[in-house]
Amino acid sequence: MNYIALIHKENNSDYGVSFPDFPGCITAGKTLDESKTMAQEAITTHVEILREMGEHINPPSSLEEIMQNREDKEAVAFLVNVPSEKAIRVNITVPEDNLITIDKRAKKYHMTRSAFFAEAAMKYRKI
C-alpha cells in the first residue's frame, strides 16, 4: 500500500518527513533523496513494529484529505510504499541485459529489485 509522506524544510535545518496516517513517525535527511530513503526506512520499521504489537494498520488516507488537513501548508506530498505483511519468494528467469536495466531503474528509485518487479506488475495490472 502507498501512504502519503509530507516533506518540509525550515531555515537552517535538514528536510523533515512526517506521515499523517502514522502520527509520531518522523524522519529527516540532509537532501531530498536522502529524506526519501529515510522515509521508506522509517515507515517500514514503524509498520513492522505496529504489526508485531498486533495493532491494526488503517488504509491510507486520500491525498485530498491530507492536503486539506495538513498543518504545514508548505509541505510537499510524496508516496511511500508499505509492504504487505506477507511476502512470498518467487524465482523468475530474465535476460541478463534486461536485469541490468531493471536493477539500474530500481536503484534510481531507491527500490529493491523485488519491489521494482512488484510495482511494475501492479502498474501493468491497472492498464
For 33-41, what is the mean pLDDT? 94
Specify the length of the chain in residues.
127
Mean pLDDT score of the chain:
89
How many Cα atoms sit within 13 Å of 99 on the Cβ side?
A: 6
pLDDT band at 84, cuts 50/70/90? confident
pLDDT confidence of residue 15: 96
- What nine digits make up the cell of 97? 541485459
Q: Which residues contact 62 (CB under 8 A, 6 or more apart)?
A: none
For 92-103, what is the mean pLDDT? 96
| Nearest CA-CA partner of 35 in 78, 1, 70 | 78
Asked whether the predicted pLDDT for residue 2 surpasses 80, the reply is: yes
In contact, 21 and 3? CB cutoff 8 Å: yes
pLDDT confidence of residue 127: 53
pLDDT confidence of residue 27: 96
| Nearest CA-CA partner of 70 in 20, 26, 3 | 20
For 42-57, what is the mean pLDDT? 91
Asked whether the predicted pLDDT for residue 93 surpasses 70, the reply is: yes
Domains of the chain by start residue, with CATH: 1-83 (3.30.160.250), 87-127 (1.10.1220)
